[in-house]
Amino acid sequence: MDLKYSNKLVFKRSEVIKITKLDGKVLDFWEREFKVYKASENKNGDKFYSRDDVEKILLIKKYLIEEKLRKEEVKKRLGSNENLNSEENKLNNKKVDINNKKFLSQIKKELKEILTLLDKNDK
């Protein structure tokens, strides 16, 4: 699954691992190390990430792996928020028509998935 082709707003941990091609331990370490995203956890301990979280993970990966920057430089760039803001602006510039039936259908589907997960946890 490629993030740019997905309309999802919330991703399961397994989806994030697949999208980013990173191990779960790396996601946890980066969460603690860079402090720019925070996974949500349900009662069972299953983790979920927002679309924004995934974008930040991909940005960290780009800095560390593709650009081969040191952690300190990555923290500096993330702290300035200039790159995060530019990435967010790219997404925000894509206008979303909330009256679009396809868009509303996707949101409905994701909400049903979340409710199903929450129901499983309450049992």
- For the chain, the structural domain boundaries read 3-94
pLDDT at 3: 62
The domain at 3-94 falls in which architecture?
A: Orthogonal Bundle (1.10)
**CA-CA-CA-CA torsion sign (63, 27, 87, 72):** negative
Contact 52, 88 (CB under 8 A): yes
Query: What are 15's two structure tokens?
Result: 């989806």
**Per-residue pLDDT at 30:** 96
pLDDT in tens, 42-53: 888 889 999 999
What's the pLDDT tens digit per position in 14-40? 999 999 999 999 999 999 999 999 998
> What is the per-residue pLDDT for 80?
67
Adjacency order of strands within the sheet including 40-41: 10-12, 47-50, 40-41
Q: State the pTM of this model.
A: 0.66
Give the pLDDT score at 64: 95
Q: How confident is the model at residue 108 (pLDDT cuts 50, 70, 90)?
A: confident
Q: How far apart are CA 36 and CA 56, in angstroms?
A: 7
Count Cα atoms within 13 angstroms, Cβ side, for 120: 10
- Whether residue 121 has pLDDT greater than 70: no
Read off the pLDDT band of 70 (50, 70, 90).
very high
